[in-house]
Amino acid sequence: MHTYKPETFSLPALEGISEKQIEVHIGLYNGYVKNINLLREQIADLSVRDPEKYQFAIESTRRRLGFEFNGMRMHEFYFPQWEGGATEEPRHGALGHVLAEKYGDWESFISHFKSVAMSRGSGWTTLGWDKKGNTPHVWWTADHELGTLADIEILLTVDMWEHAYMVDYLPAEKARYIEAFFNNLNWDKVVTRFNATTSA
């Protein structure tokens, strides 16, 4: 059986986000990787022991897979966005053009993304590219397995679960975390994802 292994991330010192915050957050990411492997092992073990007797246990475990797997993957989009340090916004490139076309201008896109990120509750705010519709979308995801748009390529995502910022900020200060996220963002990573999906 394939075993998933945690990725490592080469992060610089971040403005407004402490090393302790990153340490705690990566520890949580490692937990997702551990749990996806454990769940797959449990399904295999129960299926061998007595699939009829353990039918409901197997089904419940399968339902949990989506949460753990998407939690793993979303963090593998999230952390690399800071690798290499902050870069300039691509407002004048191809990505900036399509975002301005949909949202009015670059500032309106950023404002919209931040407003979605400020939604009440825990979740993720994500910018993705709909290849079939040839258009960008910004959306809110609650639990990792709920609200994810199918067949959408992720370009940019910010973790809005409290574990992503509560070492450094109170829940009422999450707007400051969003600002820190963008202040450290390597937009080149986002552009590379956009170029990869639009040229495929």
Q: What is the DSSP letter of 80?
A: G
pLDDT tens digits, residue range 65-82? 889 999 999 999 999 999
Single-letter amino acid code for the residue at 170: L
The CB density around residue 135, as the number of other CB atoms within 10 Å, is 12
Q: For 5-39, write each residue's pLDDT tens digit.
A: 999 999 999 999 999 999 999 999 999 999 999 99
Across 172-194, average pLDDT: 98
Q: State whether 55 and 123 are in the same domain.
A: no
pLDDT value of position 57: 85
Residues of the chain with pLDDT > 70, as a percent, come to 100
Q: Is the pLDDT of residue 150 over 90?
A: no
pLDDT confidence bin for 200, thresholds 50/70/90: low
pLDDT at 49: 87
Q: Say if CB 101 and CB 48 are below 8 A apart.
A: no
Residue 145 has pLDDT above 80, yes or no: no
Residues 67 and 105 occupy one common structural domain: no
Among 82, 107, 133, the domain-final residue is 82
Higher-pLDDT residue of 56 and 181 is 181
Q: What is the pTM of this model?
A: 0.93
Angle at which helices 106-117 and 174-183 cross, to 10°? 140
Alpha-carbon torsion (40, 43, 44, 46), positive or negative: positive
**Co-location of 47 and 101 in the same domain:** no
- Host domain of residue 43: 19-82
Q: Do both 56 and 111 map to the same domain?
A: no
